[in-house]
Structure 1
Amino acid sequence: MNPFRLAVAELRRLTANRLAALAVVALTIVPTLYGGLYLWANHDPYGQLPNVPAAVATDDVGTTLSTGERLRVGDRVADDLVRSHSFDWHRVSRQEALDGVEQGRYSFALVLPRTFSSDLASSGDFHPRRASMTLETNDANNYLASVMGNTVVKEVTTSVASQVSSTAASQLLVGLSQVHDELGKAADGAGRLRAGATDASKGAASLVTGSQRLTTGLTDLRDGATRLAAGADDAVAGADRLHTGASQLRTGLRTLSSKTAALPAQTDRLADGAEQVAAGNRTVAAAGLEVAGVSTTLRGDLAEQRSALLADLRTAGLTDEQLALVTTRLDRVDATVGRADGRIQTASRQLTALSTGADEVATGARTLARSTPALVSGVDGAATGATRLRDGAASLETGLRTLGTGADRLAAGAGTAVTGSTDLTSGARRLQSGVAELGKGAGTLATSLTQGRDEVPDPTDAQRRAVAQTIGSPVTVDTSSMSSAGSYGAGLAPLFLSLALWIGAYVLFLVVRPLSPRALATSQRSVRTALGGWLAPVAVGAVQAVVLYLVVAVGLRIHVAHPVLTMLFLLAVSMTFVAVLHALAARLGAIGKFLGLVLMVVQLVSAGGTFPWQTLPEPLQWVHHVAPMSYAVDGLRRLLYGADLGPVLLDLGVLAAFLVAALALSSVAARRARVWTAARVHPELVL
């Protein structure tokens, strides 16, 4: 009897009745249930993260930058998280977020403090503070959710740091541009200062000449003021005499008024006296006009000399402050002369009026002589006019005295001005020397500023944005994958496909006999007996592999890069796993089945199906290199994801070695099984 007949006989036994057939069908779909359900449940968990509730709370009150810009990073971070839909974010208050995490409404919460923005902006005032965020987690909700929350916080931290770095770099580059521009302006200003210093040097030379002429003019002004003071004293004496005469005229008119009874006899004498007074008044008035003319001429000369002086000083390059000082001094002199001239002109007009009045008195006296009846009223009017004349003379005397005082002051001020102009000449010479030195220094400054401006970078707006972005995020990662799983479920598929085939092979030997008793009772060769016991579960295992592949590739839509090769590889893996478990069951019986379960657990943790095998403890790393499931997982990864298929040959070679070794062990077990022992008749453990 060949091995295939033995396998067919075993399959007929397994399907001899409806219940047995249903059991075989159930065994066939066990790998599919295990691998398919697990991969379905974990097909794309990261795509479902937007359904995981999370809270974000911000107490950030914001801050104002030195540029006046309002900064509220907390609101920006919260809004970006909500818009990102990375989780089911809820923007709530701080207390509501904490209560939600504690009560399980939220998996975790991100809390931003009141000083978040001000801490981020603190580098601008050179008192930097690190901004902080609080991640509130509760592992009682879900440990992995807390881990993912930490990942989100790191991403937010990186994003905020990049924004802050970009903003700071942009402000720094703007400052460099402003420094470059201001240095250029300073260099231009230094150049203009050098040119101005050259002109100022020439002006200082002119100032020396002008100040010398000013000294001469002020000396003349002082001498003229002295003469004016002497003339004013003479005018005071004349005004005093005028006042005395006016007083006497008033007294006489009063007496005349009281003695109107003798008026007809005295009118001729009165007329003569009045004519004499009128003549004297005309003499005084002429003198007053002469003094007024001299005063007017003096004031005109002073104004002309003042204008010429100021023009010369300005032409000489005198500064506005120096001109203001000279102008102030001249204003005082001009004001004093003006007041004196005003009073002299007033006195002259009053003397003229007095002369005219005296003439009228004389005419009136004559008229009085001819018009005696109207004499009384005329005498009274003359007495009143005489009173005004006396008062005017008094005012004239006071004005002339004031003029004399002003002239004295003018002379003194002119003397002081002479001394000041002498000092001005000396200062102008020092100014000329200093301006020459200023020109040299300005030239050196202009050269240095130009060199400094050329050394300061002046980036364009586009360059500034590019540099700021580079500083804020100096490293970019270009991800290039030689092969890609595409989803979390696809990433786990190699491990759970292999594990499902092992479980499928394991459950087969719960009902399949590893060795046919009929074959053992005959003279069949041990190899044929072993192959016959192996082929029956291999057939069921092949169906398991096909169904599992169809569910994963078609039902779960996990992309398979090499469908045919993957299917063939799954069959090879199933055959190898069936052979290993067949050998254990055939050689060790119930103990072998238990060892098959132990091997499944050991291979589950050592196959490297989730974390890289290098992360395993060293003993499990040794197990990884000798366990058949490690090579099954490696081969399926390359076939599913489209990687280099070269290592698949090594995986197939190792699996083939396990297959041959397992069949050899089964053959040995078949040969030993021909001998019945007490342990076989009454086994201590039956599974």
Structure 2
Amino acid sequence: MTSRPSGTSAFRIAANELRRLSAGTLPKLAMAALVLVPLLYASFYLYANHDPYGRLDKLPAAVYTSDAGAKDSAGKERNIGREVTDELVKSGTFQWHQVSQEEAAKGVQDGTYSFVIGVPHDFSAALLSVGNFEPQQATITLTTNDSNNYLSGTIAKQVAEQVRKTIAEKVGSEAADRFLVGFSTIYGKISEASDGARQLADGAAKLQGGQRELATGADKLATGSGTLATGLSTLKSSTTSLPSQAKQLADGAGQVADGAGQVADGNQKVADAAALAAGASSDIQSKLNGYRAQLAQDLRGAGVPEAKVQEIVAKADQLRSPVDQANTKIQGANGELAKLAAGSRQVSNGARQVSGGAQQLSTAAPQLANGIAQASDGANQLRDGAAKLNDGEKTAVDGTNQLADGAAKLRDGLAAGLTQIPNPDDPTRSKTANTIADPVAVASNGVASAGTYGAGLAPFFIALATWIGAFVLFLLLRPLSTRALTAGASPLRVAIGGWLSSALLGIAQVIVLFGAVTWLVGIHVAHPLGAIGFAILVSLAFTSVVHALNAFFGAVGKFLGLVLLVLQLVSAGGTFPWQTIPDALYPLHVVLPMSYAIDGFRHLLYSGASMKILGDIGVLVAYLVGGILVSTLAARKRRTWSVSALKPELSL
């Protein structure tokens, strides 16, 4: 059997290398420094950037307003620019300074302020123009200077956008509130109109009933007037021959002289005729009085005002005045004739007195006939007027029916429309206005949350620090033991022995690093044990890769380690999502190990551990094994010595 040379095991090779590094004070300090390199890189950076957004109140920023203010649609004076600047300063999000426009421009130019937000002269006027139906777009100005700091300008743009949204929501909420108040006002006015329409409908119904009663009275008036006209016409016909009879009486009076008996007999006839005329005249008077009373009663029953009733009755009285005068004369004549008849047998003083009385009767008869004729004509006119009044009342009834129907429809329509008009109370109106102004709310539901900016960058910088830690280890460590190679040790044992010393130091690096990151910096780790175990695996894989580069390429391997570091910085997606990198870098993201280290750290640090981490572990294990295999191949090549190996062209 071939015995294994003494001191050529992998662990012995690693131990010899570590003893070489710790042989003196300076080597020991150098080895300690190697362990602390990742700590210095990652922990100090993470400490400095742990929560920069929580310290934005230290970032100086300026705000100014030139807003002149304006009146809103209600006539109230508003200065929204002043309201905005006051709210910004009170918010304390930045170290706000209210200055003039000139001071702000000078300050952002010389670096006194990181950025400036300005409110122009017509800001309020533009915002309130919508309520006056003269819409203008309001603007705010943002002034940045990337020579001060690029990220501060980026932050300022986000702040300006947030200010814009806040103002839009504020003004939109106020406008929506005024809009809803308008609905309430409309509701109130429509409600008043609905009450008025209800009253109109009730009044129209009453008018309709009254108009029907008036039409009934007008119909009765027309009927009574017709009856009156007919009666007067009959009376007129009966008194047509009265003047000729009176004349005959007067002619016969001269013949009375033949004897008292004949005169008495003649006078009795005349008295009888006069009595007949007086009776007819009295009957006419009685009928006219009845018609007058009936006319007044019918007019009042028809709803005609009392003043109008009295006016109509007075006109009727004027029309019957000749009848009254004739009646007075007839009654007077009748009395005279009665006396004449009573004393005719005693009268003996001559036919002239009898002839005079007969002449008076002859004179009064035509007047009575004319009066009756005039009364008949007036009654005819009254009949015609009553007929027209009756026709007009029928038309009025139709109109009031339509009015009543229309008023009822108006009442019902307003009542139905009133239920369709919104009338929110103050809390509901305010809530609705806010919803109209800002209809979409974002409910954040993070599956895993980093918490702070520093914690968000921790996976990237821990992975980066681990690579740098592995890289600096081989500034002092020798990748392959020359003694073991010359002793004929197995290439695999030489490779593992050369890597194992860096692996042990790498484990020390990540343990110290995690202690500082969690305890000193204060970054929360959701899965501490898993994260430390994964960090050890990352360190083992990275030291294996860097070891392989140094073992296979020698001094060039150190340069290749830097190149790989740069390539991984730009392709691993440590800061921005890796999908945002150029397409040409996608293959590097898929191939290089730091991408998987960062992904695994994110899962373990942010409480989002999933089965996906098994893929990350598999890739890192593959790099670990692959690095050892390349180192083994390098050890096999180094067993054959060449001039370039004994005296390399480049030594780092």
- How far apart are 1:427 and its partner, in Å? 8.3
Note if 1:444 corresponds to 2:409.
yes
C-alpha separation in 2, matches of 1:178 and 1:12: 93
- How far apart are 1:600 and its partner, in Å? 0.6
The 1:25–1:444 alpha-carbon spacing in structure 2 relative to 1, beyond 3 Å, is: same
Q: Which residue of 2 aligns with 1:589?
A: 554
- How far apart are 1:505 and its partner, in Å? 0.9
Deviations along 1:492-534, one digit per CA (max 9) or x if unpaired, are 1111111111111111111111011101101111000111111
- How far apart are 1:584 and its partner, in Å? 0.5
Q: Which residue of 2 aligns with 1:65?
A: 72
Deviations along 1:199-258, one digit per CA (max 9) or x if unpaired, are 334556788979x99xx9xxxxxxxxxxxxxxxxxxxxxxxxxxxxxxxxxxxxxxxxxx
The secondary structure found in structure 1 opposite 2:204 is helix
C-alpha separation in 1, matches of 2:453 and 2:71: 45
The partner residue of 1:127 within 128, 131, 134 is: 134
After superposition, residues 371-520 of structure 1 pair within 5 angstroms as 434-520=399-485
- How far apart are 1:594 and its partner, in Å? 0.5
TM-score using structure 2 length: 0.71
Note if 1:153 corresponds to 2:160.
yes
Aligned AA for 1:105? T
- How far apart are 1:433 and its partner, in Å? 5.2
Note if 1:107 corresponds to 2:101.
no
Aligned AA for 2:550? A
Query: Which range is displaced more, 160-169 or 581-590?
Result: 160-169
Note if 1:610 corresponds to 2:617.
no
Deviations along 1:95-143, one digit per CA (max 9) or x if unpaired, are 2222221222111111111221221121122221111111111112211
Q: Which residue of 2 aligns with 1:20?
A: 27
C-alpha separation in 1, matches of 2:643 and 2:580: 48
The secondary structure found in structure 1 opposite 2:62 is strand
Q: Which residue of 1 aligns with 2:196?
A: 189
After superposition, residues 145-224 of structure 1 pair within 5 angstroms as 145-201=152-208
The partner residue of 1:530 within 482, 495, 502 is: 495
Report the structure, 1 or 2, having the larger helix content: 1
Over the residues paired in the alignment, what is the CA RMSD in angstroms? 3.1
Q: Which residue of 1 aligns with 2:605?
A: 640
Q: Which residue of 1 aligns with 2:505?
A: 540
Deviations along 1:420-450, one digit per CA (max 9) or x if unpaired, are x999999888766544432222122222222
The secondary structure found in structure 2 opposite 1:610 is coil
Q: Which residue of 1 aligns with 2:81?
A: 74
Aligned AA for 2:143? E
C-alpha separation in 2, matches of 1:147 and 1:314: 92
C-alpha separation in 2, matches of 1:196 and 1:484: 73
Deviations along 1:316-370, one digit per CA (max 9) or x if unpaired, are 477xxxx9xx9xx9xxxxxxxxxxxxxxxxxxxxxxxxxxxxxxxxxxxxxxxxx
- How far apart are 1:680 and its partner, in Å? 1.5
The partner residue of 1:601 within 541, 566, 571 is: 566
- How far apart are 1:621 and its partner, in Å? 1.5
Q: Which residue of 2 aligns with 1:666?
A: 631
The secondary structure found in structure 1 opposite 2:129 is helix
After TM superposition, what 4+ stretches of structure 1 lie above 6 angstroms from structure 2? 205-210, 312-315, 421-430
The question of whether the paired residues in 1 share the 8 Å contact of 2:213 and 2:301 is answered with no
Q: How many residues align?
A: 498
After superposition, residues 363-378 of structure 1 pair within 5 angstroms as none
C-alpha separation in 2, matches of 1:569 and 1:198: 93
The secondary structure found in structure 2 opposite 1:57 is strand
The partner residue of 2:525 within 546, 560, 575 is: 560
The 1:427–1:153 alpha-carbon spacing in structure 2 relative to 1, beyond 3 Å, is: farther
Aligned AA for 1:136? T
The 1:113–1:313 alpha-carbon spacing in structure 2 relative to 1, beyond 3 Å, is: farther
Q: Which residue of 2 aligns with 1:409?
A: none
Note if 1:10 corresponds to 2:21.
no
The question of whether the paired residues in 2 share the 8 Å contact of 1:163 and 1:472 is answered with yes
The question of whether the paired residues in 2 share the 8 Å contact of 1:119 and 1:130 is answered with yes
Q: Which residue of 2 aligns with 1:96?
A: 103
TM-score using structure 1 length: 0.68
Aligned AA for 1:48? R
Aligned AA for 1:80? E
- How far apart are 1:653 and its partner, in Å? 1.3
C-alpha separation in 1, matches of 2:171 and 2:11: 75
The secondary structure found in structure 2 opposite 1:105 is coil
Deviations along 1:164-207, one digit per CA (max 9) or x if unpaired, are 22222222222223323322322221221122223334556788
The question of whether the paired residues in 2 share the 8 Å contact of 1:58 and 1:75 is answered with yes
- How far apart are 1:593 and its partner, in Å? 1.0
- How far apart are 1:483 and its partner, in Å? 1.6
The question of whether the paired residues in 2 share the 8 Å contact of 1:590 and 1:686 is answered with yes
C-alpha separation in 2, matches of 1:41 and 1:19: 30
Aligned AA for 1:197? A
The secondary structure found in structure 1 opposite 2:118 is strand
Q: Which residue of 1 aligns with 2:46?
A: 39
C-alpha separation in 2, matches of 1:665 and 1:658: 10
Note if 1:51 corresponds to 2:16.
no
The 1:314–1:86 alpha-carbon spacing in structure 2 relative to 1, beyond 3 Å, is: farther
The 1:108–1:316 alpha-carbon spacing in structure 2 relative to 1, beyond 3 Å, is: farther
The secondary structure found in structure 2 opposite 1:457 is coil
The 1:630–1:427 alpha-carbon spacing in structure 2 relative to 1, beyond 3 Å, is: same
C-alpha separation in 1, matches of 2:405 and 2:505: 105
The secondary structure found in structure 2 opposite 1:635 is helix
The secondary structure found in structure 1 opposite 2:64 is strand
Query: Which range is displaced more, 118-127 or 45-54?
Result: 118-127
Gaps of 5+ in 1: 217-308, 330-417
C-alpha separation in 1, matches of 2:211 and 2:391: 11
The partner residue of 1:144 within 146, 151, 159 is: 151
The 1:97–1:580 alpha-carbon spacing in structure 2 relative to 1, beyond 3 Å, is: same
Aligned AA for 1:60? D
The 1:176–1:315 alpha-carbon spacing in structure 2 relative to 1, beyond 3 Å, is: farther
- How far apart are 1:482 and its partner, in Å? 1.7
C-alpha separation in 1, matches of 2:450 and 2:304: 87
Q: Which residue of 2 aligns with 1:653?
A: 618
- How far apart are 1:68 and its partner, in Å? 3.4
After superposition, residues 310-389 of structure 1 pair within 5 angstroms as 316=303
Aligned AA for 1:542? I
After superposition, residues 183-332 of structure 1 pair within 5 angstroms as 183-201=190-208, 316=303
C-alpha separation in 2, matches of 1:194 and 1:658: 95
C-alpha separation in 2, matches of 1:36 and 1:443: 85
- How far apart are 1:45 and its partner, in Å? 0.8
Aligned AA for 2:182? G
C-alpha separation in 2, matches of 1:608 and 1:314: 103
C-alpha separation in 2, matches of 1:164 and 1:178: 21
Aligned AA for 2:83? R
Q: Which residue of 1 aligns with 2:287?
A: none
C-alpha separation in 2, matches of 1:677 and 1:23: 32
The secondary structure found in structure 2 opposite 1:455 is coil
Q: Which residue of 2 aligns with 1:360?
A: none
The question of whether the paired residues in 2 share the 8 Å contact of 1:119 and 1:129 is answered with yes
The question of whether the paired residues in 1 share the 8 Å contact of 2:495 and 2:632 is answered with yes
